[in-house]
Amino acid sequence: MKHYPRRVTRRHFLTGSAASLAGISIVPRRVLGAPDVPPSETLGGALIGVGGRGPGTYSELSKGHHVVKLAECDVKWLSNADNKTRYTDFRRLLERKDIDVVAIATPPHWHALISIAAMEAGKDVLCEKPMTRFIAEGRAVANAEKRYGRIFQVGTFGRFNASRDPKNILTRKIMKSGLLRKCEAVIIKRGDLKVKEWSGLVNAKPHPVPPHLDWDMYCGPSPLKPFHPHRHGGTHRGYWDYEGGGLCDMGQHYLDPFTWTWGKDDTAPVEIEAHAAPAHPEACGMWGWVELKYADGFTLVFDSNEWGPLYSRNKYRGLSLEDLDEESRKKVQAMPDEAPLRTFAEAVKTRQPAGGNAEAAHRTVTILHLANIAIRIGRKIKFDPVKEVIVGDEEANRLVNVPMRAPWHL
């Protein structure tokens, strides 16, 4: 697969398409009081999904380097796309060779396919959280990042803050050293997961599709269901077809620091158990708590704090050198600090993985998907973090790799 040039040429920078982008004026930086940036150091940018999170996601894409927005794409422009700067089909946008970096802010059921297509087309990607809708998608994105040699960053940055805290750095060293025989740490996240807020409607009556909306393209790889306003916009989070409720909406923010601090960027929980009411097949709903245990004993708990009894265990104090014998302490103290995590801009410039690269982001979002699978299945599940399959439970395993609606596929 050909890798397109990463820089915008002088011809691309000075010619027409960018200047006509609706609502965007392209002017030389000197007009804004900033020094000129040569065209060779200017990136062509695009935003796919211009709704609520769109501007914020594109802003993160632009930090630390000079990016000129050349195009946008959204399914709500059915009658207002111009095929030059405004698109309804992301595939047409990705054909442009003057676009180097892409921000993706669609609902999550589109994240994986668009990310893979963008990287295949030679683009670097900053994707909104949660990274994917189900586990197999994340593995496909991570494989694509390696296969095409592109940069991928998920749009959550808690791990960057965590990696600057001396206590977290020490915990990570202890965990990565392999010297701790068994980790008895229990981390409990209580509340702030918007479980009730992002619950879906049950038996909602169909509505006419708005004339400006390409509903078939909006549904994309998910089942083509009758249109209802609650399935579109921010409330899409309440339906398994598009996301995974408040847990997936907020969880990657909260978990990114944990997976870095506790050295879990290359593995996943092996036992998952949920305390929840029977789940609806389409609409996300209320649940009490979910316990996820790793092979080394480290346990993570989500307590919704909105329904059911509170999780009864106390929050663990964390790790310290006192958890190790004297010889192990010396070995940990002698371990060098890791290099700082790279931002998206730094990764694009150096061609080295970003801090929230696809593998790390995939392992984080897998935790959320496993929690939701346990909630939906209603029983304890066991997960193989190497093969990335649920052991001995075919019904649960069907939620690891969810069939896509033709013609879409991984």
Q: Where are the domains of the chain?
A: 10-157, 159-199+239-336+356-397
Query: Residues 6 or more apart from 237 whose CB is under 8 A from it?
Result: 194, 198, 243, 244, 245, 246, 248, 249, 284
Rounded to an integer, the average pLDDT of 3-15 is 38
* Predicted local confidence at residue 32, as pLDDT: 35
CA 366 – CA 360 distance, rounded (Å): 10
* Predicted local confidence at residue 318, as pLDDT: 73
* Predicted local confidence at residue 312, as pLDDT: 74
Dihedral sign for Cα atoms in the order 47, 49, 55, 59? negative
pLDDT in tens, 210-243: 999 999 999 999 999 999 999 999 999 999 999 9
* Predicted local confidence at residue 351, as pLDDT: 97
pLDDT at 159 over 60: yes
Query: How sure is the predictor about 160, in pLDDT bands with cuts at 50, 70 and 90?
Result: very high
CATH class of 10-157: alpha beta
pLDDT at 17 over 50: no
Phi-psi label, residue 315: left if phi above 0, alpha if psi -120 to 50, beta otherwise: beta
* Predicted local confidence at residue 285, as pLDDT: 95
- What is the pTM for the complete model shown? 0.90
Phi-psi label, residue 337: left if phi above 0, alpha if psi -120 to 50, beta otherwise: beta
- Give CATH for domain 159-199+239-336+356-397: 3.30.360
* Predicted local confidence at residue 199, as pLDDT: 96
pLDDT in tens, 109-152: 999 999 999 999 999 999 999 999 999 999 999 999 999 999 99
* Predicted local confidence at residue 289, as pLDDT: 95
Helix (H) or strand (E) holding 111: helix 111-120
Token duo for residue 223: 């089942």
pLDDT at 343 over 50: yes
Average pLDDT, the chain: 89
Rounded to an integer, the average pLDDT of 385-405 is 97
Query: How sure is the predictor about 21, in pLDDT bands with cuts at 50, 70 and 90?
Result: very low
pLDDT at 31 over 70: no
* Predicted local confidence at residue 316, as pLDDT: 66
Rounded to an integer, the average pLDDT of 83-104 is 95
**Are 10-157 and 159-199+239-336+356-397 in the same CATH fold?**
no
pLDDT at 95 over 80: yes
More confident residue, 36 or 82: 82
Rounded to an integer, the average pLDDT of 331-336 is 95
pLDDT at 197 over 70: yes
